[in-house]
Amino acid sequence: MRALLVANPAATTTSARTRDVLIHALASEMKLEAVTTEYRGHARDLGRRAAHEGLDLVVALGGDGTVNEVVNGLLHNGPDPDRLPRLAVVPGGSTNVFARALGLPNDAVEATGALLDALREKRERTVGLGLAAGTPGTGDESVPARWFTFCAGFGFDAGVVGRVEQQRERGKRSTHALYVRQLMRQFWEEPNRRQGTVTLERPGADPVTGLVLSIVCNTSPWTYLGNRPLYASPEASFDTALDVLALNRLSTPAVARYATQLLTSTPERGPRGKHAVSLHDLTDFTLHSKVPLPFQMDGDHLGLRTSVRFTGVRRALRVIV
C-alpha cells in the first residue's frame, strides 16, 4: 500500500515526539511518505498530488482544518470514490469533529491503533460531503467551490469563528472557554440579531426569510463542547445530503432558550421552537443576505459573503473507519 501522511506541525494536541511515534507505527504497515505542512493550503496541494499520483491512502494528522484541506485536494477534479485514494484521519486538533463523528478515538495514539486495525480488517465507508460555491448572477459568483466535511455557517456562528481566529493569531490558545467568550461578544455586538438579513431558497418551496443564524450540517453532532456533543441537526448524516438549522431571532430570551436546548440536545432531539427552522436532507439550496456576512466551513473563517450556494453530494469519498 502506498500512503501519504500529511501532518500539521501546529496541531493543538500533538507534539513532534508523538508525530514521530505515529509515523513509525504507520510506516511499519505500509510504504509511507510523511510530509509536514509548511503553509496555508499545503495540505490541499498534497491531497491533490496524492490523487494525481494514484496513491492508495492519505492520512491527515491534524485538526478539522487540515482534514478539510486534504479533502479539497483529493476532490480537486470532483468526487470519484472508486478511483481516489482513501482518507484516514488521526485527530490532532482541539475539537476534531469529523474524526469523532466517524466514531474514531479523540486521541492520536489510540486513533492510530484503530486505523491500523481498520486497515487490516479492511473497514471503510463512503461518506457524503457538502459543497459551497458562489451563487451565479451575484457578486460572489466568482468565488471558487469548496468542499466541507461536517458543517458550514453563514452569519452569527461564522462571526464567532472569525473572532476566535483573531484571538489565536494574537497568541491565545484554542480552548472551549475561548469560544464561549467570543460567542458572548458576538452576541452583544451582532447588529442583525433581532431582524435577520438571510433568506434560504430551495427548489419547489417558498423562501425562508429573516434568518439571523444559519448552520448547515453534513453530519451529527454539529460540534463538541469538551466531551459533550451538541446536536444542531440530529438527523444529519454522512449517508444523506445536508441539513439546516436556522434561527430568525436572537433576543436574550431566545438565545438562552436555544443555548440550553443545544447543551441538552441528544441524537433524537435538537433545538426547536417558533424562531427555529429545521430542514433535512437538502441536495441544493442557496443562502442570500442583504448585507455581507461572515462565512465559515469546518471551523475555518472564509471572510464575508452575500450569497452561497450549497450542494449535498452523497457518496463523495471513501474513509477508513
The cell numbers describing 32, all together, are 509511507
pLDDT at 179: 75
Q: What is the pLDDT of residues 238-291, one digit of tens each?
A: 999 999 999 998 888 888 899 899 999 999 999 999 999 999 999 999 999 999
Cell of 65: 482544518
Place of cell 469538551: 226
Q: Which three cell numbers stand for residue 309?
A: 450556494
Cβ atoms of residues 141 and 134 within 8 Å: yes
- For residue 203, give the C-alpha cell: 427548489
Say what the pLDDT of residue 251 is: 83
What confidence score (pLDDT) does residue 17 get?
85
pLDDT for the residue numbered 317: 98
Query: pLDDT digit string (tens) for 222-245?
Result: 999 888 999 999 999 999 999 999
Average pLDDT, the chain: 92
DSSP of 210-237, one letter per residue? EESEEEEESSSS-EEETTEEE-SSTT--
What pLDDT sits at residue 76?
96
Can you give the length of the chain in residues?
Answer: 321
pLDDT at 173: 73
C-alpha cell at 236: 444529519
Residue 271: how many CA atoms within 13 Å on its side-chain side?
A: 30
Cβ burial, residue 252 (10 Å; 0-12/13-18/19+): exposed
Q: What radius of gyration, in Å, describes the C-alpha atoms of the chain? A: 19
Q: Chunked in runs of 10, what are the mean pLDDT values of the chain (321 residues)?
A: 93 82 90 95 98 97 96 97 96 92 93 94 97 95 96 89 79 74 78 82 96 96 91 97 94 86 94 94 97 93 95 98 95
Q: What is the pLDDT of residue 169?
A: 76
Rounded CA gap, 104 and 110, in Å?
Answer: 9
**Confidence at residue 39, expressed as pLDDT on a 0 to 100 scale:** 94
Backbone angles phi, psi at 2, to 5 degrees: -100, 125
Q: How far apart are CA 297 and CA 81, in angstroms?
A: 22
What's the DSSP call for residue 76? T
For residue 319, the tally of other CB atoms under 10 A from its CB is: 23
Residues 259, 261, 266, 268, Cα dihedral to 10°: -130
